[in-house]
Structure formats: C-alpha cells, structure tokens
Amino acid sequence: MPTDHGPKPLRATRSGPLKGSLRPPGDKSISHRSLMLGALAVGETVVEGLLEGEDVISTAAAMRAFGATVTRGEDAVWRVAGPGVGGLLEPEGVIDYGNAGTGVRLALGIAGSHAFATTFTGDGSLIKRPMGRVLDPLRRMGVQVIARSGDRLPATVRGPDVPVPVEYRLPVASAQVKSSILLAGLNVPGTTTVIEPVPTRDHTERMLQAFGAAIDIETGEDGSRIIRVDGRHDLKPQHIVVPGDPSSAAFPIVAALIVEGSDVTVENVLLNPTRTGLLETLIEMGADIVIENRRAVGGEEVGDIRVRHKRLKGVRVPASRAPSMIDEYPILAIAAAFAEGDTLMEGIGEMRVKESDRIAAIAAGLVANGVTVEEGPESLLVHGGAEVPGGGLVATRLDHRIAMSFLILGLAAEKPVTVDDAATIATSFPAFQGLMTGLGARFEEATDG
C-alpha cells in the first residue's frame, strides 16, 4: 500500500527522566507471516496483536488481491480466510508494497510458484532495493521474471504450471530470502531445500511447523541449517498471538539508557534468540537491563525488559552477531555515541541495502550532530563521549529506523535534533511518538525542517 503522506519534520529535545512502562507493537516479521500463512491455509486463521503498521497493512492488501478474505474486528483481532496453497487467484492490478521489503520479498515467493502473472512495485526506497536475491532462486524453479534493470521493482513474476524444486544455499545471510524460497516451495511438487550457513530469524520455520507444513530441519556437518519443505500439502489454519517487536522495543530501551534518571519497563517483548543481539551487546556495554516475567506466548518466549539509565562503555560488535540484530544497528549507534570510548560494528554490509543505505545514513546523521565516526565499506566506528552536541538536521531517506534513532538521540543531546520526515515511522511503529511522550519524551513539530 503506498504511503500518501507528505514529509513530517519532527524535533526531539533533551528530556527529563523517562519513567513508566509501555507495550511495543506486534512483531513485524511475525505479523507479515501470520497474514501470508493464513492466506495459504484453507479455513480461518485468527491473529491477535497484529502490528497495524503500513508495511503489514500492505501485506493484508496483497493477500486480498490473491483472493484471501482479510478482516479486522473492532477488538483489533484479524481474521484471514485463505484460498490455500495452489488456490490463489491472479491479482487484477499491480501490487504496490509501499516501503515493505520483507513483505514484497516473501510475496514474490508466494506469487512465483503460482501459474499466473503478478506485478509488484513500491515506494522510492523499495524500488531501489535488490530483488535478485529472491528472483534468482525463483528463476531456478522455472519462474519467468521481467524486472527493471538490476533486478529492481517494478517486477512481474509468472509461475510455471509445474515448478521445479531446488536446493539453494543462501549466498547472503537473509531470513527474507530463506522465507521467500520456503513459501514458494509450499506450491512446488517435491522437496525444496534451503541451506543456511549462518542462522537468521527462524519465524517462518516455526510458523510453518505450527501450520502443519511438511517441514524438516537438520544441522549439516559444517554446522549449517538444512531446511526442507515438501510442497502441495494443505496447511491448517491457526490462532496466532503476536508477541511485541524487539526491533521496536529497542528505541525505548536505548532511550532509557541514555536519558539521565530513567527507569522504563518495556513489556511483552519477543525474546527469540535469533533476535536478541542488541540486548547482548548493550549488556556487554554495561547496561542496567533486567528481564522479568519470562513466559511463553504463541510458541515464542517473551519477557518484560526493565531498563535504568547507565553510562555505557564502547565495545567491538563481532560480525557473527549481525543477523541477530540486523535492524538494531541504527539505534545501537545512538547508544554508542553516548558511551565512553569507541564502538566498532563489523560485518554490517547488509545495512547498505535496507530501507536506506543505513551505514551512510547513520554516519551522516551522527556527524551532523557533532559525533565523530569512521565509515568502512562494511563497518562503522563511533567515537563515544559523555555529551553529544546535537543541533543537527537529519535526512531520514524514507527510513523509519533512521527517523526513530535520531529522535532518541535528541532526547539526550545538548541541543535539539530534527529529523526531516517522521511520517515513515508509521510503517513499523505508528504509536512511537505517543508512547515515548507518555514516558516523558519531548517532541515538537518542526515546521522549519
């Protein structure tokens, strides 16, 4: 779904202690997959706690275009009645996925193994992002592809009558690529195999198991994960409770660490070990973080995270941690700016192909606010200090996480920090401003940009 808002500049000002508790929105990865697997099951899937952000609403619209019935009750419970694997209909129009990289890459897999044509496009950020990483394995399955140069959107995929199962070793550590192939494999006769040398978030595998797919996971001799799915079996509809998104929880967590005197509890946060790299890193930096009330929700571990202000120290974040905190480097860089000493983030080349080139966007934003950084092709070094001057105007480049990260910086910097567009935050965390304000954060509209 395209976003029709104009830019909304917003300014954050040094705030008093942040106090209280909040619940982050539902996890974005699980929300996309809930609607997709609901459409691929026959019968009614019920989803509680869905993230109602623009990215996920785009997936709801896409699933409707494929013939699923997707409705929201007044109680915010969503229901998906799926036509089921192999039963999807050819969409009548172009599917505009807005800003949602995960949504479009997973939907390309779903569409690609169906014998009809689907055309996808997106916003000014999404049409710049590489789609070859999912289109290449789809081509090997026999899918016809017409895409803009460099395998960019807009792109059309047309599945063959009988797609061919593949065995595909992931050339990049990407849960999106893994998931796209596995979702395509659901409508491929025979066994589709994905080999994952480096583990990435495993929500697709867990949810496929819950939906009754014929899926099998094994560890190879070299330690890689081998995931096999047998296609053309029916999926059983599920009742899903979506846990809170750790990638959204990251913003109030870091805010509480850097704003003096803060004491904040972020409730109901997903603690799946493929998503907890930021918590591990912040604890290494000396953060005062306590996880309370650990419990199971919908087959996942969740907990309440209590964070108190603490002066952090710089650390080296190893490349091996990147998959478990890939979306959290922007906000880690903000924590690093206030830490004592240097923080080096290595092996983060994937950051260059997110909603924006995040290494460049973070570096430019920090420099604009008086922080010294060293940018490498696949790394970022932040020189921390007790005080961050602030006072900068940050270009958010259609990237929600860049917008939220620099607003958090402004809550603790000496001078206010302005982001040129906070409207993009609605893609993943529509209640960000209200929830943060409830803790004591100070924001104001910035008409002068």
Determine contact, residues 6/423, Cβ cutoff 8 Å: yes
Nearer to ligand S3P, 99 or 265 (CB): 99
In the complex, what is the shortest distance from the CB of residue 412 to ligand S3P, in angstroms, rounded to a whole number?
26
Region binding ligand S3P by CB under 6 A among candidate stretches 117-125, 173-181, 256-264, 302-310:
173-181
> Which of 38, 45, 44, 46 lies closest to 66 in space, CA to CA?
38
For the CB of residue 322, give the shortest distance to ligand S3P in the complex, in Å.
9
Map residues 337-366 to x or -, x wherever contact with ligand S3P holds by CB under 6 A.
-------------x----------------
* Count, residues near ligand S3P per rule CB under 6 A: 11
Output the furthest CA–CA distance in the chain (Å, rounded).
Answer: 63
Q: Measured between alpha carbons, how far is 262 from 378 in angstroms, rounded to an integer?
A: 33
Which residue number, 11 or 201, has a Cβ lying nearer to ligand S3P? 201
Please report how close the Cβ of residue 196 comes to ligand S3P at its closest, in angstroms: 11
CB under 6 A: which stretch of 43-51, 116-124, 172-180, 249-257 binds ligand S3P? 172-180
d(CA 358, CA 45): 36
- Kindly state the smallest distance separating residue 242's Cβ from ligand S3P, in Å: 13
Interface mask toward ligand S3P for 185-224; x: CB under 6 A:
---------------xx-----------------------
Phi, psi dihedrals of residue 249, rounded to the nearest 5°: -60, -30
Candidate ranges 62-70, 169-177, 263-271, 379-387; the one touching ligand S3P (CB under 6 A): 169-177
Listed ranges 34-42, 171-179, 387-395, 436-444: which one lies at the site for ligand S3P (CB under 6 A)? 171-179
> 86: burial class by Cβ within 10 Å (0-12, 13-18, 19+)?
middle
Closest CA to 102 of 359, 427, 433: 427
Nearer to ligand S3P, 179 or 193 (CB): 179
Min dist CB 231 to ligand S3P, Å, is 20
Least distance in angstroms from the C-beta of 349 to ligand S3P: 11
Q: Which lies closer to ligand S3P via its Cβ, residue 201 or residue 225?
A: 201
Strand order in the sheet with 300-308: 19-22, 263-270, 300-308, 288-297
Judged by beta carbon, residue 42 or residue 172, the one nearer ligand S3P is 172
Instruction: Give the C-alpha separation, 443 to 449, whole Å.
Output: 14
Say how far apart CA 226 and CA 423 lie, in whole Å. Answer: 40
**Considering 327, 357, 399, 421, which one is annotated as catalytic?**
327
Secondary structure of 225-259 in the HEC alphabet? EEEEEECCCCECCCEEECCECHHHHHHHHHHHHHC
Residue 140, amino acid:
R
Q: Quick check: is 327 catalytic?
A: yes
Residues 85 to 144 in contact with ligand S3P, rule: CB under 6 A = 102
Residue 308 burial class via C-beta count within 10 angstroms: exposed 0-12, middle 13-18, buried 19 and up = middle
Q: Which residues are catalytic?
A: 327
Chain positions contacting ligand S3P, by CB under 6 A: 29, 102, 174-176, 179, 200-201, 326-327, 350
